[in-house]
Amino acid sequence: MLAVAIGILAAVAAWPIYRSEHLWLLIAGATGAAYGVVLAGRLWRWGSFTAGALLLGFVVLLVPLAVPDALLSGAAGIPRGLGDGLAAVALGWKQVLTLTLPLGTYQAVLVPVFVLVYASVAASTWLALRDAKSAVWAALPAAAAVGYGTVFGPAELSEPLLLGSVTVTAPRELAVWIAAGIVIACWISWTSGAARRAALRLGRESRARRRSVTRGAIGAGIVVLALSAAAVLAPAAATTPRSVPRDRIDPVVVVREQTSPLASYRVWKRDAAFEAPLFTVSSAGKLPGRLRLAVLDHSNGIDFTVSVGPGTFTRYPSGGTVADPTQIRVEIAAGYSGIWVPLTTELAATPRFAGPRAAELSDGFYLDRDTGAGIAVPTAAGLRSGDEYTVELSAAPDAQLGVPPHALPRILISPSSRNWIAGSGNSRCRRAARGSRQQSSGCASAAISAMP
């Protein structure tokens, strides 16, 4: 029962971090495997071989439980998933802290909670089965299970709960910690009672009674201490910003070193590159009206640039609900290269990259959640021909302004410019010179005619 309690506490505490049904499967598998191996080692007296059996069980279950996305690639993805999972045993905590919640089953983010539950249940079961003195400490891993959710969880506390005239601050967090205190206290009380019952059978009731009272008092003290700490700390947590490790670790993607996206746009206008395809988009359902590249959201009055700073671009482990969802496939062609990923404003899920660089592109994908601009930086060069990805996003049309924008004056092309365009021999430019209001491609002058 103690192993089950530890598993449930770990699942409830870690739910805000992952918010994936797979978390329950992982914890059930880790709890059952750890408990079963330690119990079998105790019954059949494996001795030190129990540790080897635990290690073997950990390796066998690592990919299907903690790195499930690796199985999407079939048998070929298992070696890579195993390597990523073993690396995440030491480095997974950093990945959990640097990703935006919820994490889902993204890459190897489930490895830390898998290690925690597997090791906690194994240690708890071993202590419980060893002897009466060790059994008292078997409930302490329950605190580690709850501590993981507290340390690695979101900075925002749960919404206050109003019970009549009483407001309960951070009810979810308090309930989890109080439950952990009760589990620990009940376990101590139960183990004390077991010692007393054994003493009764041997005729040493008075001595066992004293031990039972002492251990029962310790358990009651733990519950009182948990309730007192909750009553004192909860109001303080609600009035002061909560600082968690994820707030102090933020990946910085250096976009400032890239040339302006407008420079690439001008290159695509040249005659030599005009006919080269940039990328192809396909879908079994509805296609979005357009895909965006960079979002130039800052202007100093002269130049339009991409505003970037610490925390601007973050990883995107899971999406959300979007209007008019559809799934598209984008294949990068020879005419396009760069860090900017063609996307719409809203994503329902993180892109699933394919091709020879799929793993590197997946690791290097970041999103600006304010503007919806995405980048892929497996190297400083970004995307290149042959890269492809599938993504679920919104195909809803762009929002329309409620009030028509202020009319801009029509820019007139001087006679000398018309003569130069006419003499260039470019039919697209000649159409622009005749005042076409649709944007043309192939020369710089065509952009002028696109303006109203």
Predicted pLDDT of residue 85: 92
**365-367 and 374-376 as β-strands: parallel, antiparallel, unpaired?**
antiparallel
What are the strands, taking DSSP E only, across 127-231?
161-163, 166-168
Distances (CA, A) of 149 to 20, 82, 171, 183, 189: 14, 25, 15, 17, 26
- How sure is the predictor about 424, in pLDDT bands with cuts at 50, 70 and 90? low
Tens-digit pLDDT profile for residues 282-334: 999 899 988 988 888 887 777 788 877 766 888 888 777 888 899 999 999 98
The whole-number pLDDT of residue 330 equals 94
Q: How far apart are CA 356 and CA 387, in angstroms?
A: 8
The answer, yes or no, to whether the previous bond of 102 is cis (omega within 30 of 0) is: yes
421: phi > 0 → left, psi -120 to 50 → alpha, else beta; which? alpha
Question: For residue 105, what is the DSSP state?
Answer: T
Q: Exposed (0-12), middle (13-18) or buried (19+): which is 72, by Cβ within 10 Å?
A: exposed
Q: What is the mean pLDDT of residues 349-363?
A: 87
Q: pTM for the full model?
A: 0.59
Q: Mean pLDDT of all residues in the chain? A: 77
For residue 218, the model assigns a pLDDT of 58
User: Could you read off the pLDDT of 80-95 as tens digits, one per residue?
Assistant: 889 999 999 988 887 7
Contact 205, 199 (CB under 8 A): yes
143-189 pLDDT, tens digit per residue, is 888 888 888 888 777 777 787 777 777 788 888 888 888 888 888 87
What sign has the CA pseudo-torsion 389, 395, 399, 405? Answer: positive
Ranges of H-type helices in 240-282: 261-268, 271-274
* Predicted confidence (pLDDT) at residue 435 exceeds the cutoff of 70: no
